[in-house]
Amino acid sequence: MICPRCGSNHITSQVITETTSNEKVKGFGWIKACIGFLLFSLPGVLCGLCGMGKGRRSTKTSSKVEYTCQNCGNRF
């Protein structure tokens, strides 16, 4: 492997792992609140709070190789 900037052969490689996570949190459920209101009157509106705060988590991991020139410090 040759550095594209200085042409040196003194190259080191490093594996970089990146992890990203997405979390979707549920809020107040208006449909549950309306059904609860129809069934139980005013206290039924609290049915909209059922399941609030729960969510889904998904993580995505990706890795890439980064080369570094020991002479000039160029990363490619």
Instruction: State whether residue 56 is helix, strand or coil.
Output: strand
Instruction: Flag whether pLDDT at 12 surpasses 70.
Output: yes
- Output the pLDDT for position 35: 86
Instruction: Flag whether pLDDT at 17 surpasses 80.
Output: yes
pLDDT one-digit tens code per residue, 32-73:
888 888 888 888 888 778 767 676 677 889 999 999 999 999
Instruction: Flag whether pLDDT at 10 surpasses 90.
Output: yes
Segment holding 58, helix H or strand E? strand 55-69
- Output the pLDDT for position 51: 67
* Domain assignments of the chain as residue spans, ordered by start: 11-69
